[in-house]
Chains A and B, each alone.
Chain A
Amino acid sequence: MILTALTAALAAATLAGLALGSVRIPPGQVLEILTGRAEPSPFRTIVLDVRLPRVLQGAAVGAGLAVIGTVLQALVRNPLADPFLLGVSSGASVGAVSAIVLGGIFGLGTALSTTVTIPAASFVGALISLVLVYALARGGGGGFATGRLILAGVAVSYILTALTSLILVTADSADHLKEVLYWTLGGLGSARWDMLALPCAVLAVGTALLVALARPLDLLLVGEEGATVLGLDTARFRAAVFVLASLLTGVLVAYSGAIGFVGLMVPHAARMLVGAAHRALLPVVALMGAVFLVAADLAARTVAAPQDIPVGVLTALTGGPFFLWLLHRSRTHEGAPA
């Protein structure tokens, strides 16, 4: 029921994403173009080659970030986790930027190597930062107090963002600077058909695996000791989740930059609809994330048209206040965050 409604919402958002923009195309005509019944025209090019890849990438990235957020929240047992807030996205950015810059130096900039090396470097960066934040934020009893978690995330995030800036400033790539800057703010403007396959494949496989892992993910919610006595090898499972979450983050960030707060807001809203058990939760989270980012990107390229605002700026504008509200609520609910 909820899944059907969300699928319909995704279809509507996709249609709007294809029809609206600097040129308005009537939805009827969009449908004709999509079903292949339209003659070649400039509209057809706009819909199929410009807007469709962007909408699809938005859907993939939105779904992926929301799924990662959900899983990270289970991992640290704290609803205030998000790939962006925990510095995982910054780690992925450092990896990606290093790969771009080093690729430029060593002449590895061929199409094949960039589609593989940048996401790979991004994955390594994400994994390192995730393990680092986890180790720093972990309190005595294996718990994660909100304060520690956010401090560790912010500190690691700052260091990594500074590192990205350092690489960019010292690198001999002034001509790419604006492009890279736009990318680090988190945008979907560079979406192209030939860059969709990898993120979509990784998203599909990663999400399917995580849905299959719903039972052990649920067990994480009762804490490390609770999960152990219910038969979960927590160390091994945690390592597997680290790798999966970093892989998803790495690949998505490599293509779209660090888009924040999607992974914070969407899981929260989805839990209110279907509860915290992951088998029901993850598909809803993925669809909601897709709808959310497609809609947000549509807003990003229409509110100040013809200016194309990076969608990450928009999600931060809505997500920041949401985060503050959650933080306030968690204080009134469980006493002062330690």
Chain B
Amino acid sequence: MKLCTEDLGYTTPGGARLLDGVSLTVADGETVGIVGPNGSGKTTLLRCVYGALTPTAGRVLLDGDDLTALGAKARSRRVATVPQDGQAGFDLTVRQVVAMGRSPHKRFWEGDTAHDEELVAAALTRVGAEGLTDRSFTALSGGERQRALVARALVQQPTVLVLDEPTNHLDIRYQLEILSLVGGLGTTNLLALHDLNLAAYYCDRLHVLRNGELITSGTPKEVLTSDLLAEVYGVTAEVAVHPATGSPTVTYLPASR
């Protein structure tokens, strides 16, 4: 079971090349991070994977099946995402929002069965949000909302989970919480992260993007080096293995005092 992109490219109708010739792989059960500066194409890459964008070049393959050739429904049974902005336009309960994740498995006129209710309850328990079931989704805090959306992705019963900056706007405690949660789900995870220390700790492997191109790939130890940070981000930084976590830790050094 493996997700891979082959020479993936996306050019906007206006001619801006946001993604160019990206070939990467995510192995079964791996948690893989996409890192890179703002505008490097992280979000574009993820949107091509979860189907919000149709790539203008190349393919996204899941176990050999071309995801872009699958319909929206067939794709959503295999790839789920936690959207960056998870606002519901109108007031729905957490239960209703999570139950939407059953849609890929339903004919459009079908209601939720007892089995669906069980899956929703189990997913909410798994993300530690069972107490939120009957709360209004719009009234949740950022961290609670993010957990509810992870639960929604879980009831989709996907093979691959795609998360775009899941820690955005969250307090540090919830950042750690959501990433531990995702890492422990047993799904194959592809995440875009801007915090390199979090990426180093939670991801098995990293892919580095710059200007829409894949610069390098490897384990956090292989990828996160002073040279790469200088080249890709234009910053001076020291990288050391933290004694407590065993992961590389990046310390940024100001250019001048």
Q: A residues near B, CB below 8 A?
A: 73-74, 77-79, 212-216, 218-219, 221-223, 225-226, 228-234, 271, 275-277, 279
Q: Which of B90-98, B174-182, B208-216 contacts A (4 or more CB under 8 A)?
A: B90-98
Given A221-B90, A275-B93, decide whether A216 and B108 contact each other with a Cβ distance below 8 A.
yes
Q: Across the two chains, which residue of chain B brings its CB closest to A234?
A: B72
Q: Is A229 within 8 A of B88, CB to CB?
A: no
Pairs A–B under 8 Å by Cβ, sample size 9 = A219-B100, A219-B103, A221-B90, A225-B83, A229-B76, A229-B81, A231-B72, A275-B91, A276-B90
Given B71, B79, B83, B108, which contacts A226 in the complex, CB threshold below 8 Å? B83
CA distance A41 to B100 in the complex (A): 57
CA distance A213 to B103 in the complex (A): 12
Residues of A within 8 A of B73 (CB): 231-233
The verdict on B80 contacting chain A, using a C-beta distance below 8 Å, is yes
New contact pairs (10) apart from A221-B92, A223-B87, A230-B76, CB-CB < 8 Å: A73-B90, A212-B108, A215-B103, A215-B111, A216-B103, A221-B90, A222-B97, A232-B103, A275-B91, A276-B90
Given A223-B89, A271-B90, A275-B91, decide whether A233 and B103 contact each other with a Cβ distance below 8 A.
no
CA distance A276 to B91 in the complex (A): 6
Determine how close the nearest CB of chain A comes to the CB of B241; give it in whole angstroms: 37
Residues of B within 8 A of A279 (CB): 111
Q: Is A233 within 8 A of B72, CB to CB?
A: yes
CA distance A225 to B52 in the complex (A): 6
Determine how close the nearest CB of chain B comes to the CB of A145; give it in whole angstroms: 12
Q: Is B72 within 8 A of A276, CB to CB?
A: no
Q: Which of B101-143 contact A (CB under 8 A)?
A: 101, 103-104, 106, 108-111
Residues of B within 8 A of A276 (CB): 88, 90-92
Determine how close the nearest CB of chain A comes to the CB of B204; give it in whole angstroms: 24
Q: Is B50 within 8 A of A229, CB to CB?
A: yes
Determine how close the nearest CB of chain A comes to the CB of B142; give it in whole angstroms: 16
Determine how close the nearest CB of chain A comes to the CB of B150; give it in whole angstroms: 14
Q: Is B91 within 8 A of A215, CB to CB?
A: no
Q: Is A230 within 8 A of B92, CB to CB?
A: no
Residues of A within 8 A of B52 (CB): 225, 228-229
Residues of A within 8 A of B90 (CB): 73-74, 77, 79, 221, 271, 276
Contacts across chains A and B counted by CB atoms under 8 Å:
86
Determine how close the nearest CB of chain A comes to the CB of B179; give it in whole angstroms: 21
Determine how close the nearest CB of chain A comes to the CB of B115; give it in whole angstroms: 16
Determine how close the nearest CB of chain B comes to the CB of A326; give it in whole angstroms: 13
Q: Is B96 within 8 A of A277, CB to CB?
A: yes
Q: What is the size category of the interface that chain B forms with chain A?
A: 20 to 34
Q: Is A231 within 8 A of B103, CB to CB?
A: yes
Given B76, B80, B96, B103, which contacts A275 in the complex, CB threshold below 8 Å? B96
Q: Across the two chains, which residue of chain A brings its CB closest to B84?
A: A225
Residues of B within 8 A of A78 (CB): 89
Q: Is B89 within 8 A of A212, CB to CB?
A: no
Q: Is B92 within 8 A of A231, CB to CB?
A: no
Given A77, A219, A231, which contacts B75 in the complex, CB threshold below 8 Å? A231
The verdict on B51 contacting chain A, using a C-beta distance below 8 Å, is yes
CA distance A226 to B88 in the complex (A): 9
Determine how close the nearest CB of chain A comes to the CB of B187; give it in whole angstroms: 15
CA distance A73 to B52 in the complex (A): 23
Q: Is B71 within 8 A of A277, CB to CB?
A: no
Q: Across the two chains, which residue of chain A brings its CB closest to B52?
A: A225
CA distance A276 to B92 in the complex (A): 6
Chain A CB count within 10 A is highest, among B72, B106, B109, for B72
CA distance A216 to B75 in the complex (A): 16
Q: Across the two chains, which residue of chain A brings its CB closest to B47?
A: A225
Determine how close the nearest CB of chain A comes to the CB of B95; give it in whole angstroms: 10
Q: Is A275 within 8 A of B92, CB to CB?
A: yes
The verdict on B5 contacting chain A, using a C-beta distance below 8 Å, is no
Determine how close the nearest CB of chain A comes to the CB of B59; give it in whole angstroms: 18
The verdict on B77 contacting chain A, using a C-beta distance below 8 Å, is yes
Q: Across the two chains, which residue of chain B brings its CB closest to A213?
A: B108
The verdict on B156 contacting chain A, using a C-beta distance below 8 Å, is yes
Q: Is A230 within 8 A of B156, CB to CB?
A: yes
Q: Across the two chains, which residue of chain A brings its CB closest to B109?
A: A212
Q: Is B100 within 8 A of A230, CB to CB?
A: yes
Given A213, A219, A226, which contacts B109 in the complex, CB threshold below 8 Å? A213
CA distance A188 to B111 in the complex (A): 37
CA distance A215 to B101 in the complex (A): 11
Determine how close the nearest CB of chain A comes to the CB of B162; give it in whole angstroms: 9
Task: Render B36-63 as a binary contact track against A, CB cut-off 8 A, 1 for contact.
Answer: 0000000000010011100000000000
Determine how close the nearest CB of chain B comes to the CB of A141; give it in whole angstroms: 9
Q: Is B91 within 8 A of A228, CB to CB?
A: no
Chain B CB count within 10 A is highest, among A74, A77, A277, for A277
Q: Is A230 within 8 A of B103, CB to CB?
A: yes
Task: Render B189-219 as a binary contact track against A, CB cut-off 8 A, 1 for contact.
Answer: 0000000000000000000000000000000
CA distance A222 to B152 in the complex (A): 12
Residues of A within 8 A of B71 (CB): 233
Given A73, A215, A229, A277, which contacts B110 in the complex, CB threshold below 8 Å? A215
